[in-house]
Amino acid sequence: MDELRRSGDVYVWSWSLSGSLRPDDLLLQDDDLARVRGLRDESHAVALARTRAGTRRAVGGLLGVDPRTVLLGRRATDAAAPGQGPPELLSPALPLSLSLARTDGIGVLAVSAGGGVGVDVETVRPIDVVELADVVLTPFEYDHVRELPPGPCQALRYLRCWTRKEAVVKGAGQGLLCTDLARLETRPDEDGPVTLAFGPRREPWTVHDVPLPGPWVAAAATAREPGRPRGRLVMC
């Protein structure tokens, strides 16, 4: 555990949310199993079960413990309703930070022992950049995105900005609606990792672009503690 913390590394897993429920999707705590069984939409049940089971399996593998002993809860934050916050490791009682994201067909988990962590994933799709610019992009980001004509390449540039922003905001435990995203510069002209400044104290965050096979863009962000080197992105 001490080595994980000193490294500042962020560990990332991803899994498909397609298909039907499988036996290994049911590695669930009693409360999660009840929620899955109560869902009428099978796609929602698959997404929930696979995400929660995948998280227990990933954390168990990282720590070298039986996944069935990994207990998860929800961390209370000012930005989330009760029971809707980011995942929290209850057992083993270790200071790991967890963040989950999912979109059409894929779920992503990020884990760090070096401080806060956030992850976001988005499906590449047509986007009206002009309509969103004022509330999402800095002037530099807007110019960088608008260098390209509307289409998939422009959407990729926009989604690099968006996923980096959301990863940092989630890691800091803030809500998107109470964050001035147009003041958070993500340096989209640079491949990750990049260091971004966020919050009233301009705390440094290391942001990695997460490589995923398929039509998705993802980013993971970790709080960078003073005096510690920039951590690596470890794909698991």
Mean pLDDT by 10 residues, the chain (236 residues): 72 94 90 91 93 95 95 77 76 93 96 90 93 92 95 95 97 87 95 91 93 96 78 92
What pLDDT sits at residue 226?
67
- Write down all domains in the chain, each with its CATH number in brackets: 2-235 (3.90.470.20)
What pLDDT sits at residue 96?
92
What pLDDT sits at residue 68?
95
**Structure tokens belonging to residue 214:** 């398929």
Residue 12, classed as helix, strand or coil, is strand
What pLDDT sits at residue 107?
96
Sheet-wide strand order for 216-223: 117-123, 216-223, 203-210, 194-198
Q: How far apart are the first and last CA of the chain?
A: 17
pTM: 0.92
DSSP for 82-134, written as a single string? TT-S-EEEEES----EEEEEEETTEEEEEEESSS-EEEEEEE-----HHHHHH
